[in-house]
Amino acid sequence: MYQMAAYCRVSKDDGENKISESIENQLKLIREYIEKSDDMELADIYIDDGYSGLYFSNRPEFQRMMEDIYKGRIQGIITKDISRLGREHIETSNYMERVFPALKIRYIAILDGVDSVSHQNEELAQFKTLFNDMYSRDISRKIKGALTVQKKRGQFMSGFAPYGYMKNPDDKHRFLVDEEAARVVRRIYSMYLAGYSKGGIARMLNEEGVLTPSEYKRKVQGLKYANAKQKPGAEGWAYPTIHVILKNRVYTGAMVQHKSEKLSYKMEKYRYIPEEQQYIVEGMHEPIISKDIFEQAQEIGKKRTRTPGFGGEVKKVNPYAGILVCGDCGYNLQRVTGRDGYECSTYHKKGNAFCRSHFMKKETLDSIVKTEMEKEGKSETISEVTREMVIEKIEKITVYSGRNVEIVFK
């Protein structure tokens, strides 16, 4: 008697065959087949609902079945057809031709007429796996094509509206302003324009206990939202959250889609699309941020960063390089990115046996320099301290301790 595992799977890559591929139908067919046979018994049922046939390792029930096989509890697997086992040609063939035979596992695909014990239809099985693979490729292309047309028209085709908006209940392809979150978005832009760094804005929002966009979606909007890009352990507002909000043209009323694309229908890997190739349709919803403010933020972004790589580390510019010195040892203060400020380079390299940290927050130093410049009448109100300004007007800045700073003007 073969102890058989009934394996069923359904996912969106089944296209229009959803009903005939339903779990109930698969199980019914399998039960009937086992009942009619005289050398098989149904040992257990494994159901992966919502998992693509292109991958094996992420299917929990498939993995549980494989464990039961290794434990010796099962001697055979039965599926409705080969596509339920898998849709990816190479890996599916690998299971059928290498893994199962090596484990002495009988494999039956009812509708494809495959039974490894009687060696039935083995050549046909080869062809079927290839066919299933091609079918997936075709379905993925069809879904993509239909989506492209709608996205180009400015219809929102994804799951969750960006922070600051919510899906319009009367038209799920359009947005309405979510006033509570929109207020935070407006504040982020105005703080940025006022000279706050992205890290500084994040810190302030954390200090005030403002919910992050992910938390907000879950707690306030009641959405089942999981941010796949969020690193484990990362909590609260952070530089990337602010960066993304300050770059998102959606807040000016434009629908922005096609920002990244899947590299291949077989891989969960994405490529970033440059802005000029994205599908941007203006005037699709009420703006949260005026175009003027948005463009100002983009200009500041260009000035403050040298290499704003996508998702990568952004190098912090030190506008005071060469003129900011330690009041104790006379060496330079260097930019420390983690805490967003400056500290004595002697201390940084050699430790507290040689000098003290003299750490000063970037915001603090900027505001002192701004105030002193304005007092000196070197400039009118300054929105942001730039490298150009510093080189032109300042000879030397010496940092003693705390906020004790001496500025020598040219």
Considering the rule CB under 5 A, would residue 336 count as an interface residue with Zn ion?
A: no
Q: Is residue 344 close enough to count as binding Zn ion by CB under 5 A? A: yes
Residue 181 binding Zn ion, by CB under 5 A: no
Q: Among all chains, which residue has been given the structure tokens 């018994």?
A: 41
DSSP symbol at 305: B
Q: Does 139 bind Zn ion (CB under 5 A)?
A: no
Instruction: Evaluate the CA torsion angle 78, 79, 82, 87 in order and state its sign.
Output: negative
- What is the chain's percent helix, strand, coil content, to nearest 5? 40, 20, 40
Helix (H) or strand (E) holding 262: strand 260-262
Asked whether 342 and 360 are in contact (CB, 8 A), the reply is yes
- Residue that the structure tokens 């890997």 belong to: 269
| Of 96 and 355, CB closest to Zn ion | 355
Q: Does 355 contact Zn ion by CB under 5 A?
A: yes
Q: Which is nearer to Zn ion, 328 or 384 (CB)?
A: 328
Contact status: 326 vs Zn ion (CB under 5 A): yes
Total residues interacting with Zn ion, rule: CB under 5 A: 6
Residues between 32 and 61 that touch Zn ion (CB under 5 A): none
User: What is the C-alpha to C-alpha distance for residues 403 and 138, in angstroms, rounded to an integer?
Assistant: 65
Q: Counting contacts by CB under 5 A, is residue 346 touching Zn ion?
A: yes
Tokens of 129: 């796996």
Q: Give least dist CB 376 to Zn ion, A.
A: 26
State the CB neighbour count (10 A cutoff) for residue 109. 25
Q: Which is nearer to Zn ion, 205 or 326 (CB)?
A: 326
Among 44, 215, 328, 384, binds Zn ion (CB under 5 A): 328
Query: Which one, 311 or 351, has the nearer CB to Zn ion?
Result: 351
Q: Quick one: which of 207, 214, 230, 367 has its CA closest to 311?
A: 230
Contact string (CB under 5 A) for Zn ion, positions 278-317, x = contact: ----------------------------------------
User: Per rule CB under 5 A, is residue 399 in the interface with Zn ion?
Assistant: no
Q: Which stretch binds Zn ion (CB under 5 A): 77-85, 162-170, 301-309, 354-362?
A: 354-362
> Which one among 204, 329, 336, 389 touches Zn ion, defined by CB under 5 A?
329
Question: Least distance from C-beta 333 to Zn ion, angstroms?
Answer: 8
| Separation CA 97–CA 366 (nearest Å) | 68
Starting from the edge strand earliest in sequence, which strands make up the sheet with 324-326, in order?
Answer: 324-326, 394-399, 405-409
- Distance (Å) of CA 177 to CA 164, 214, 287, 292: 6, 17, 8, 19
Q: Which helix (H) or strand (E) holds 243?
A: helix 239-247
> Least distance in Å: CB of 322 to Zn ion?
16
The yes or no reply on residue 111 touching Zn ion (CB under 5 A) is no
Q: Which stretch binds Zn ion (CB under 5 A): 66-74, 103-111, 137-145, 349-357?
A: 349-357
Point out which residues bind Zn ion (CB under 5 A).
326, 328-329, 344, 346, 355
